[in-house]
Homo-oligomer: A and B are copies of this chain.
Amino acid sequence: MAVNLHDTAYALETAIRQSAEYTQLQEAYKVVNADPQAKQMFDQFRQIQMNLSQKQMMGQDISEQEIQQAQSTVGLVQQNPKIANLMQAEQRMSMIIGELNQIIMKPLEDLYGKM
* A residues with CB within 8 A of B: 1-2, 4-6, 8-13, 15-22, 25-26, 29, 33, 43, 57-60, 93, 96-97, 99-100, 103-104, 106-108, 111, 114-115
Contact = CB atoms under 8 A, between A and B. Distances in A.
How would you classify the secondary structure of chain A's contact residues: helix, strand, loop or mixed? helix
Please give the count of copies of this chain that the complex contains.
2
Contacts of A1: 18-21
Given A2-B20, A16-B104, 9 more contacts: A1-B19, A4-B15, A6-B103, A9-B99, A12-B12, A12-B104, A43-B115, A59-B60, A97-B108
A2 B15 CA distance: 9
A16 B5 contact: yes
